[in-house]
Each structure stands twice: as structure tokens, then as C-alpha cells.
A = this chain, B = another copy of it.
Amino acid sequence: MSPDQVPAGAAAQRGAGAHRHRQASHSHDLPVLPEAVDIFDTTLRDGSQQEGLSLTVDDKLRVAEQLDHLGVAFIEGGWPGANPKDAEFFARAPAELRLGTATLVAFGSTRRAGVKAEDDEVLRHLVKANTEAVCIVAKASALHVSEALRTSKDEALAMAHDSVAFLRHHDLRVFFDAEHFFDGYAEDPGFSVSVLRAAAEAGADTLVLCDTNGGTLPHDVEHIVAEMVAGFDTQVGVHFHNDSGCAVANSIAAVRAGATHVQGCINGYGERTGNADLSAAIPNLSLKLRVRTIPEDRLERITPVSHHIAELVNTAPNPQQPYVGAAAFAHKAGLHTSAIARRRDAYEHIAPDLVGNGTRFVVSEMAGRSTLALKAEELGLELDSEALGAVLDTLKVLEHRGYHFEVADGSLELLLRRATGWEPDYFELESFRVIADHDRQHLTEATVKVRIGDHRILAVAEGNGPVNALDSALRSAIGPHFPELSGIHLVDYRVRVLDTGTGTAAVTRVLIDTTDGEVVWTTIGVSENVIEASWQALFDSIVYGLLRSRSFGRPAAPRPDRRATPTDAAPTVAAPTEAARTEAARTEER
């Protein structure tokens, strides 16, 4: 097979010849840019060192499936010698993992000082992991050899050589992680290079230069990698950490300098500040440097895979994440939204669908008229210029008082609908009262008095707190008139205190998320009084729910909010009205 035929991420290819180098189109001083690189994901090994991240074997299997679905070349699965969970992972993988594009890699370290490779526990575990490829770490810094390993440079070189030779003898593809390479190279380049040479001579397939402490900057990466690519026939790879905020840029700099193997983690998981974020490195390499990474037609999977893995490992995805973040193509500034309405690329560096993401418009006081017009159009509302101007003014006044409509789509829609002349007339509040007693098992009592047409209804309910009690009392009062309320539940309740610095008299902003099982909507209330603010948000929540069921006569399209998905997927919503400690009573007068 000629180098031209090598697909991106070809797991079977070995050695430096795997990827041809071509002239770099953007380069001004570097001679070569590879045509393709192998993507090596270490989420399951290095990534799981992240604080707060703890994966079961099942989690790991599911993450590996997702990475394979994305199309990475290598998945580092764990350290079978150091961790029983990882040993179980490798034991179960052959039967439970069906990998299409990816090769599984087991991780370990070189043999201990003074021990024969064939007698070394870690190396034997590696062989037993039964993978085609392994990755071993060796210290490539003279300082670390003397201070951490406490052995001689010669023994360190022998450890590298013997371990690689042993694994190659077992016919394993060997990735050689040169730990602390960049720092070591700055202090004692001769030793660091000799560690690489020892591994190369023993048959290592890839020499991986690791910036273990994450402190190296792109310009140093570029020239050091270029020197290693020029000096070795073996494939050169890189492994960066984000301690300087440059892990992605470092990966790009390394590829520009000729590295053809890039390690990192999906979503930038990892110890301290994380490993290089493959969710950004892959699209940068594929779309901007035109270097093949994962199969081209799978790039659009990267946003869904990123979000899916975030759910599997149970971390909140960062909306600001490049390429795949929920806000990566969200536009808020009025100037931007009006421009982007004309040209989609006005404020987008790539077409978001290339990475499976999408454009979003965020409505706020900063939004201009055009954002609101877009929103109204989305809702099928006809608002003339005057009405739009009036809504915009109202919005600005309310946001100045602490409302924040960009996160409250339900309340925003009610506002826009009112601008068309619509008024909700489902029920009318006469008054409510909330009583909380310290000595009654923390139960709170709420009474509401409402009118529906000619009927005056009084209802009382208890709850675990004021919002819960008010919600129950309101449902008790109007529920018989609106049976659909039984299918509408609050799913989240958030409180923020604004203008901090004025103590308890500050303004409180309450957000409530509600669902009818199909979509989720968010409503808002603002007041000096948390109970009043809660009531406003609750009122909008119920009115919006009734509007959906009564006026639309159809389920509205699910909103493009990321939070809709998990709630729909896992409808384990405990409705406040079902809370064991809630009781309600009701009287209706004519």
C-alpha cells in the first residue's frame, strides 16, 4: 500500500511512513504538513484523572462505543496493571465492544529499575490486556530520572529500551509516551533525545512527546517537534495538557511541524486543566489545516458525541466550548444578529452543521429589533414595526429591573403574544397568602383566591416550601377546570439574588422550568420578595402550559434547547403535587 492510500486514522499502519507530508499551504517557515494524523483519545485513561470524574466499567464501555462511532483511530482504555476496574474493562471489551474504526490501547509504564522486563508486573499486565496496541510511559527528563525515579540515566535508557523490545517481542504495536519531554528537552536536550532513541531502536512505533505539566507554548512546540521529526524515522506524536490554555494550539503547532499522531480527550477532560480538547483539535485540523483526522463524513458527529459523552461521564457540558458548545454559534448582540440574518457567515467562523452544531439567536435587552423579529417569525406571530418597537422598549425596561428573557423562553413568548393583543383569560388571581411556621415540620401553607369566569375559588395547600405550596394551591383551585394541568409539571426552580450588596432587601430572580412531557419551557419572576418572584414565574409557567394545550391545539415544536433532550429522554420528573407531604383543600363559590 502506498502512502497515498492510507486513510485518516488508519489503525493498521505502522511507523513514520504512515502519513505522507505535503507542503503546508499556510506555512511561512515550516516545510511539511502531513496529509493525515492519527487521533488517539485518552479519555478513559488520562481523562479520568479529572477531579470529580469517576467512571464505572459500563460507563467506559459506552464512552468507547461513542469514540468509535466518532471515528478516532485509537482509544486508550486504561491502566490494567494499576486499577482493577481497568483490568475488568479490558477483560470485558473483546466480548462487549464492537469497534469499527478504533483500536483499543492498554496503558502502562516501562519496567521498574533493576528488574528484567519479562519479570515486570506492569509489562506482564499489559500483555495480558490482550490488545493489539499498548502505550507505555517513560521519563524523558534527566531531572525526573534522578529526582523521581532515583536511578541513573543509563538505567533509565535501558528501562525504555528493554520495555519496548519486550512488548514488540509480543508483537504489540507500541506507543512510547516520553513523559516530561518538553521540559526535559529545555533542561537537558541530549538526555531527552537519547530516551527517544532508545525506544526507537527497540522498535517503538510512535514516539509521543508529552508536555506533562502543560507549560509549553506553541512557538516552542513548533521548533522542538520539527527537530524530532527531522531527527527520527519513527512516527512522532504529541500529548498536551492545557495548563497554559494552549493545548489545542500546541497540537496544531505540532502537526504543522510534522507530528502525525495527536493524543487528547474529547471535551478536554483530564487532571488539573485537562488534556488537549479533541473536540476542538479535530475540527481545527480537518477544516482549517485540511489534515485528515477522523473520516471526513463523521465530523458532523462530533457535537452529538461530545454531548453524549458528557452525559455518560456525568459532567455539565461547557456551553462556551469551541465548535461543540451549546453557545458556540449562539448570537446575542443586536449588531451581530442583524448581520447574520443577512449572511450566515458574518459572525460564524465555520458553518455549524459541519460539526453537527447549529446557529441560535439569543434574545435580550442587547438584541435589536431584528432578533425579536426573527423570534416572532419563529413563533408564527405577526408583529408590525410599531408593536416590535413597543416590545423592545418593554423588554429593556424589564431587563433593567432584573428580568432576563434570554433564559426564559416561556415568559418571552407570552410577552410577544401580548404584543399582538392577546391576553390570557384562563383565570384571574384575587390574592394569595403564604404562611411558614418553624414549628410545623417546616411545612408551608399557601392559600389562593382566584376567579374563573363567574366562579370565585378558594384553595389551600401545604408544601415543602412556599413555591411548592403555592403551586399545589393553585393547581387545587383551577385543576378541575383545566384537567390538562395534571400532565404539566415543574422540573426545575432556580433562584438568584441580584444587586448583592444590599443584603436581604436585594432583588430576587426566580426561574422555573416546566414540562408537559413534550417540551420544556422556562418562565421568570423578579421581585424584592422571593415569594412574589416565585409566584410570577409560577403564574407564567401555568399560563404558558394552558396556552399550549388550549390555543395551539397541537404540540409545539420542541425548542432547540439542549436541556429539552435529557428531560425528554429521562422523564423521571417528580411533580410537586405528588409530593408526599402536600395536602390541599378547595372551595368554589358562584
Measured CB to CB, the residues of A under 8 A from B are 26-29, 48-52, 54, 56, 58-59, 62, 82-85, 109, 144, 147-148, 212-215, 217-220, 223, 242-246, 248-250, 252-253, 256, 268, 271-274, 277, 280-281, 284, 288-289, 312, 314, 318-323, 325, 327-336, 339, 342-343, 345-350, 362, 364-366, 396, 399-400, 402, 404, 406-407, 429-439, 442-444, 463-468, 471, 489-506, 508, 512, 527-532, 535, 572-576, 579
Contacts and interface: CB of A to CB of B under 8 A. Distances in A.
**Of A49, A83, A213, A433, most B-chain CB atoms within 10 Å:** A49
A520 to B, nearest CB: 12
24 contacts: A56-B498, A84-B400, A85-B365, A148-B343, A212-B347, A217-B289, A245-B281, A245-B323, A246-B249, A249-B249, A273-B322, A273-B327, A314-B496, A434-B436, A442-B532, A464-B504, A465-B527, A489-B503, A490-B504, A491-B501, A492-B497, A493-B497, A503-B573, A503-B574
Contact of A284 (B244, B322, B407, B492): B244
Contacts of A332: 49-51, 271
Given A214-B349, A322-B243, A492 B503 contact: yes
A54 B364 contact: yes
Nearest to A506: B493
**Of A213, A268, A347, A407, most B-chain CB atoms within 10 Å:** A347
A532 B347 contact: no
Contacts of A328: 243, 272-273
A364 B529 CA distance: 32
Contacts of A437: 431-433
A273 B27 CA distance: 26
Contacts of A289: 217
A576 B504 contact: yes
B347 A213 contact: yes
B219 A26 contact: yes
Contacts of A245: 248-249, 277, 280-281, 284, 322-323
Top 6 nearest A-B pairs (CB, nearest first) are A215-B349, A249-B249, A245-B280, A245-B248, A490-B503, A468-B504
B246 A576 contact: no
A4 to B, nearest CB: 26
Contacts of A274: 320
B497 A497 contact: no
A512 B83 CA distance: 28
Nearest to A215: B349
A443 B268 CA distance: 43
Given A56-B499, A436-B466, 4 more contacts: A214-B322, A218-B249, A272-B331, A504-B576
A530 B271 contact: no
Query: Helix, strand, loop or mixed for chain A's interface?
Result: mixed
A271 B349 contact: no
A350 B183 CA distance: 12
Contact of A333 (B271, B345, B498): B271
A444 B147 contact: no
Contacts of A527: 442, 465
Contacts of A284: 217, 244-246
A576 B505 contact: yes
A530 B495 contact: yes
A321 B503 contact: no
A460 to B, nearest CB: 14
A279 to B, nearest CB: 9
B252 A218 contact: yes
A502 B468 CA distance: 11
B465 A529 contact: yes
A242 B277 contact: no
A474 to B, nearest CB: 12
B252 A217 contact: yes
A500 B505 contact: no
B433 A438 contact: yes
A147 B344 CA distance: 11
Contacts of A468: 503-505
Nearest to A147: B343
Contacts of A396: 84
Contacts of A345: 213
A213 B508 CA distance: 35
Nearest to A256: B219
B336 A271 contact: yes
Contacts of A220: 26
**Of A319, A336, A500, A504, most B-chain CB atoms within 10 Å:** A504
Nearest to A137: B335
Nearest to A226: B28
Nearest to A330: B51
Nearest to A284: B244
Contacts of A318: 318
B325 A273 contact: yes
A77 to B, nearest CB: 15
B574 A502 contact: yes
Contacts of A444: 529, 531
A463 B502 CA distance: 13
Contacts of A508: 465, 495
Contact of A465 (B277, B362, B505): B505
